[in-house]
Chains A and B, each alone.
Chain A
Amino acid sequence: MSAAIREWLRRLRATFHKAPEDAEMEEELRLHVDMIADELKRRGLSFEDAARQARLQAGGIAQVMEQRRDQRGLRWLEDLIQDLRYGVRTLRRAPVFTAVTIATLTLAIGANTAAFSLVDPLLFRDLPVRDPGSLVQFTWRYPGDPPLNVFSLDDYAQYRDRSTVFSDMVGLAPLRTESSAGREPIGAWMVTGNFFHALGVRPALGRVLDVSDDTPGGAPMAVVSWRYWQARFNGEERALGAIVEITDRRLPGPVHATVVGVAQPEFSGMTVSMRQDVWVSLGAIPTAMRSRAGVGLLARLKPGASIAQARAEMRVLDQSRIDGLAQRDPQWRHVAIDVTSARAGLSTPLTDQFGGPLSLLMAIVVILLLLACANIGGLLLARGASRQQEMAVRVSLGAGRLRMVRQVLTESLLLASIGGALGLVGARFGATILTRIMTSGTQSLGPSPRLEIPLDARVLTFTIGVTLLAALVFGLAPAIAAFVSAPASALRQGGGAQTKSRRVFGNGLVVAQVAISLALLSVSQLYIGHLRHLRDRSLGFDRDRVLLMSVNTSRAQNREQLAALYRDVVARLHAIPGVDSVAASGMTPMSGGAGSAFLRVEGFDEPAHDRQRVSLNTVSPNYFLTYGTPLLAGRDFRDSDMDQPRRIIVNQALARKYFPGRDPLGRHVWLENQRDPYEIVGVAGDAKYNDVRLPSPPIVYQFALMSRGSSDLSLRTSGRRAGLADDARRLVDDVFGTNSVGRVTTLAEQVDASIVPERLLATLAGFFGAVGALLAAIGLFGLLAYTVARQTKEIGIRMALGATRGRVSRMVATSAGWLVSVGFLLGAPTAFWSTRFAARSVENLPAGEAVPIASAAAALIAVAFIAVYVPTRRATRVEPVIALRAE
């Protein structure tokens, strides 16, 4: 073995140091022949005969040299280096072609890498725990709400003890930690004691939690993540026994948990997109609060049990919970527990929101890659045709066909590798920007979302794979062309005509590009249209120029004090130049906070099984003015309503539902669990509440100058004045106490943040759609330019025989027209199908519309015209005399 390696190493070295040994070798051979000749001479042959005989006996020096050269170095490596050198030279001779190709590949491979590096950890990568494939999670979904994985500890105990299909069931819940002075907030999770054992996660130091840590009233124990151990304790053993302090607003006081172990390095929790530093035992929850604590559930299927079985069993077990809840709220009848795989981790708002869009994005970039390959393949083929003569010469000089194919493929690989390397760099930036967009919209519940995009082996493998595949795909056609090149005919024809099969193939590539980019553009038009629709769809308020501030109002002891503070702050805010109106409210649209209650109305009998809650908000006077929501009937709240608090304003949707054909003004309604009625004093226009995608729900606006605890202030401003927000913040802090202002944002930002997935898709699909159209245009342009170049002689003859410039340009344009038409013919059904598919993966997206496809086609035609114009012009500029003389 070692001998074989030694041989290989020497050959490798010899590959790079060549010249002196070759000369030595040749001398040795010559001496060998001389020796034979001497020997023969001694036997009496004449000098000439001896020399002849010796050469015959020894064999040809040149052949032996060649053989020895093969043995001396590594032949394939030498060939590869030679091909690469040649390839670099060839590419440098055509700088524009090379630049366009590499830019295309960089974009395509970069986009794929960026998308993959996001999609993989979020959706596909298995968690680093024992047998992740058998892990499942439970979710349920209240109508109109996102899916939730929240159950009470009692539910957990019941399911765990009564289910038969699971070998383990664990409960876990994120704690809402706050940053204590000078420290980042800790990503802390409360977990049941069997968490680590069920997952098969071992301690790197100390021990992991176990069931004995669950004892009610027991001291809270903690296991820290490897990363946190390194960051906070420098990876030292003294971490064991240290105290980690966790502050959660919902708990009466800070939790002091004792660190008993460090989890193995690979394990960083059950969710990909949330920071996880510490896992604490159930002891963290005071016994009194246990009945109210909610946990997410995760279970491991017994060997052989299927998800369908688990789902069926859990629906039975969960029925009593649903029945209990449905007695108060019949909407619960529509809720059924679902069991889904958790092999890639528990779903989070991030995976729920972006799972669909990211998969679509992945599909889009894969299509883009195909398009890029078709494009480059076409360009290479056209170039290869003009290199036919060069190939023919080389074949005539003895180059093997496979050797030619190898050389062509090496050139493709060279292009793809440069594109891949640049793409990898670009993907790092792209992915960072993508994560920033993705996390910009999520309201943080629990640990702050943290999405890390590692440049790891999987991403690298993916990129290399994509690069090789791309090189193969776009290099295939030129390689085949090189293989079948017939030297004699190519040389004779002087590169004049092209073979029919090659022409058909080249045309086919352009048709495919037109078709694919039509589909791509249609999908992007669909998303852009949808986003525009969401933005324009009457929100019911004017989203521009409204400043939002969340204010901690706990300084006020009672209602009267709060009212005084409110009046003070409103008056002073009004004094700031540029502030037109000010209002306070319990929540602001699209903020994520919400309240709801059942409503009882005299003379309106709601069927018991279909009772639905109405949405609630508490607002101050001028709220509707500030938001630009019209008051359709009645009046706005007044300061004096302070004394008569049981008056409400409702929106149109509520009036339509509960008072069809009647005047709601002056009528009385009852809110759930309240004895005294409210009187309706006004009807406001419909406005979006918490989801731009849904129509406005029925809303009850109650009166409050400001709400206790915390409240939102909204300021309508005129013009954009820098520093206005800072002025307002200082002023509010002045009134309510230092640091009482929390989040400051604008209404427009808040609305946009609620539709990040749509914006992400529209932006990226739009970008890639445009790139796709550009590629198709380049492909069309390349093919036509090439065709015109090859037909120069033909055009010259035609013009010499009296064809007008108009006729010639018609001839060129007609062939282009055919290509584009066939592309559209094939592309239209593809586009129809892809838009339908794309629409299905995004919620509330109208499908089956022709508008996106039509606008995409229009855009493509415009681009095609430009691509056709230049080659056509060049064709008409052909001077017959010059064209014919070129022969």
Chain B
Amino acid sequence: MAARIEQVSGGHVQLNMGTLYPGLMRLEQRGFVRGTWGVTESNRKARFYALTPAGKKQLAAEKREWNRMVTTMQAILNEPS
């Protein structure tokens, strides 16, 4: 997961375990993700995290909020002074 985030962000965001796991844990405690033990393609035991319905809703809300924020910021920053 850390690798995937790193990849998507173009190497700008690097998460080590100290950041990733407490975050995951908080999300799990809030009921936004659920972790289950499973087996990877390489037949290795691992924990898989998936969004719960509440998590999806929260994600959508956060996205909306973020987009609003970005739009607002852009509007302000692009204002010719």
Contacts of B26 in A (CB 8 A): 7, 71
Which of A3, A4, A11, A67 gathers most chain B CB within 10 Å? A3
Given A31-B45, A58-B17, also A71-B32 (CB < 8 A): no
A59 pairs with B16, CB closer than 8 A: yes
Contacts of B40 in A (CB 8 A): 35
A64 pairs with B30, CB closer than 8 A: no
- Which residues of A15-59 are within 8 A (CB) of B? 25, 28-29, 31-35, 38-39, 57-59
A34 pairs with B21, CB closer than 8 A: no
A320 CB within 8 Å of chain B? no
B21 pairs with A67, CB closer than 8 A: yes
CA–CA, A57 and B6, complex, Å: 13
B29 CB within 8 Å of chain A? yes
B9 CB within 8 Å of chain A? no
Given A31-B46, A35-B46, also A11-B21 (CB < 8 A): no
CA–CA, A25 and B16, complex, Å: 16
Q: Closest CB-CB distance, A6 to chain B, in whole Å?
A: 5
Specify which of B3, B25, B30, B45 is in contact with A6 (CB 8 Å cutoff): B30
Chain A residue nearest to B54 in the complex (CB): A3
B32 pairs with A3, CB closer than 8 A: yes
Contacts of B42 in A (CB 8 A): 38
B12 CB within 8 Å of chain A? no
B31 pairs with A32, CB closer than 8 A: no
The interface residues of chain A, by DSSP majority, are classed as: helix
B67 CB within 8 Å of chain A? no
Chain B residue nearest to A4 in the complex (CB): B30
Which of B17, B26, B29, B47 gathers most chain A CB within 10 Å? B17
A403 CB within 8 Å of chain B? no
A68 pairs with B3, CB closer than 8 A: no
Specify which of B18, B30, B45, B58 is in contact with A59 (CB 8 Å cutoff): B18
Q: Closest CB-CB distance, B58 to chain A, in whole Å?
A: 7
B44 CB within 8 Å of chain A? yes
A71 pairs with B16, CB closer than 8 A: no
CA–CA, A461 and B17, complex, Å: 47
A10 CB within 8 Å of chain B? yes
A72 CB within 8 Å of chain B? yes
Given A7-B26, A34-B44, A35-B44, also A29-B21 (CB < 8 A): yes
Contacts of A7 in B (CB 8 A): 26, 29-30
Contacts of A738 in B (CB 8 A): none
Q: Closest CB-CB distance, A51 to chain B, in whole Å?
A: 15
B16 pairs with A57, CB closer than 8 A: yes
CA–CA, A64 and B32, complex, Å: 21
A64 pairs with B29, CB closer than 8 A: no
B10 CB within 8 Å of chain A? no
Contacts of A31 in B (CB 8 A): 44-47
A10 pairs with B46, CB closer than 8 A: no
CA–CA, A31 and B29, complex, Å: 21
B18 pairs with A3, CB closer than 8 A: no
B16 pairs with A10, CB closer than 8 A: no
Chain B residue nearest to A56 in the complex (CB): B16
A673 CB within 8 Å of chain B? no
B80 CB within 8 Å of chain A? no
A291 CB within 8 Å of chain B? no
A63 CB within 8 Å of chain B? yes
Contacts of B29 in A (CB 8 A): 6-7, 10-11, 71-72
Given A57-B16, A59-B18, A64-B17, also A39-B25 (CB < 8 A): no
Given A35-B44, A38-B42, also A3-B30 (CB < 8 A): yes
A64 pairs with B46, CB closer than 8 A: no
Contacts of B58 in A (CB 8 A): 3
Q: Closest CB-CB distance, A21 to chain B, in whole Å?
A: 10
CA–CA, A10 and B25, complex, Å: 11
B22 CB within 8 Å of chain A? yes
CA–CA, A10 and B28, complex, Å: 10
- Which residues of B1-54 are within 8 A (CB) of A? 3, 16-18, 21-22, 25-26, 29-32, 40, 42, 44-47, 54
Contacts of A58 in B (CB 8 A): 16-17
Contacts of A3 in B (CB 8 A): 30-32, 54, 58
CA–CA, A60 and B54, complex, Å: 32
Chain A residue nearest to B19 in the complex (CB): A59
Chain B residue nearest to A10 in the complex (CB): B29
Q: Closest CB-CB distance, B69 to chain A, in whole Å?
A: 20
Contacts of A11 in B (CB 8 A): 29
B30 pairs with A71, CB closer than 8 A: no
Contacts of B3 in A (CB 8 A): 39
CA–CA, A39 and B22, complex, Å: 23
CA–CA, A29 and B21, complex, Å: 9
Contacts of B18 in A (CB 8 A): 59-60, 63-64, 67
Q: Closest CB-CB distance, A2 to chain B, in whole Å?
A: 9
Chain B residue nearest to A13 in the complex (CB): B29
Q: Closest CB-CB distance, B47 to chain A, in whole Å?
A: 5
Q: Closest CB-CB distance, A368 to chain B, in whole Å?
A: 48
CA–CA, A7 and B44, complex, Å: 30
A59 pairs with B17, CB closer than 8 A: yes
Q: Closest CB-CB distance, B59 to chain A, in whole Å?
A: 12
CA–CA, A61 and B18, complex, Å: 8
Q: Closest CB-CB distance, A58 to chain B, in whole Å?
A: 5
Chain B residue nearest to A57 in the complex (CB): B16
CA–CA, A35 and B54, complex, Å: 29
Chain A residue nearest to B3 in the complex (CB): A39
B21 pairs with A68, CB closer than 8 A: yes
Chain B residue nearest to A65 in the complex (CB): B21
B47 pairs with A28, CB closer than 8 A: yes
CA–CA, A32 and B42, complex, Å: 14
B22 pairs with A67, CB closer than 8 A: yes
Given A39-B3, A68-B25, A72-B25, also A29-B30 (CB < 8 A): no
Contacts of A38 in B (CB 8 A): 42, 44
CA–CA, A35 and B40, complex, Å: 10
CA–CA, A57 and B18, complex, Å: 11
Q: Closest CB-CB distance, A300 to chain B, in whole Å?
A: 55
CA–CA, A68 and B47, complex, Å: 16
CA–CA, A634 and B36, complex, Å: 113
B17 pairs with A32, CB closer than 8 A: yes
- Which residues of A696-715 are within 8 A (CB) of B? none
CA–CA, A38 and B32, complex, Å: 30
A6 pairs with B31, CB closer than 8 A: yes
Q: Closest CB-CB distance, A811 to chain B, in whole Å?
A: 60
Chain A residue nearest to B42 in the complex (CB): A38
Specify which of A10, A29, A39 is in contact with B17 (CB 8 Å cutoff): A29
Contacts of A59 in B (CB 8 A): 16-18
A64 pairs with B47, CB closer than 8 A: no
Chain A residue nearest to B1 in the complex (CB): A32
Q: A56-88 interface mask toward B, CB cutoff 8 Å, 1 = contact, 0 = none?
A: 011111011001101110000000000000000
CA–CA, A38 and B44, complex, Å: 11
Q: Closest CB-CB distance, B16 to chain A, in whole Å?
A: 4
Q: Closest CB-CB distance, B9 to chain A, in whole Å?
A: 16
CA–CA, A57 and B46, complex, Å: 19
CA–CA, A407 and B60, complex, Å: 45
CA–CA, A31 and B44, complex, Å: 9
Contacts of B21 in A (CB 8 A): 25, 28-29, 64, 67-68
Contacts of A29 in B (CB 8 A): 17, 21
| A residues apposed to B, CB below 8 Å | 3-4, 6-7, 10-11, 25, 28-29, 31-35, 38-39, 57-61, 63-64, 67-68, 70-72
| B residues apposed to A, CB below 8 Å | 3, 16-18, 21-22, 25-26, 29-32, 40, 42, 44-47, 54, 58
What are 28 contact pairs spanning A and B, CB under 8 A?
A: A3-B32, A6-B29, A6-B30, A7-B30, A10-B29, A25-B21, A28-B21, A29-B17, A29-B21, A31-B44, A31-B47, A33-B17, A34-B44, A35-B40, A35-B44, A35-B46, A38-B42, A38-B44, A39-B3, A58-B17, A59-B18, A61-B17, A64-B17, A64-B21, A68-B25, A71-B22, A71-B26, A72-B29
Interface pairs A-B: 7 shortest CB-CB: A7-B29, A3-B30, A59-B16, A71-B22, A10-B29, A58-B17, A64-B17
Given contacts A28-B21, A58-B17, 6 further A-B contacts (CB under 8 A): A6-B31, A29-B21, A35-B44, A64-B17, A67-B21, A71-B25
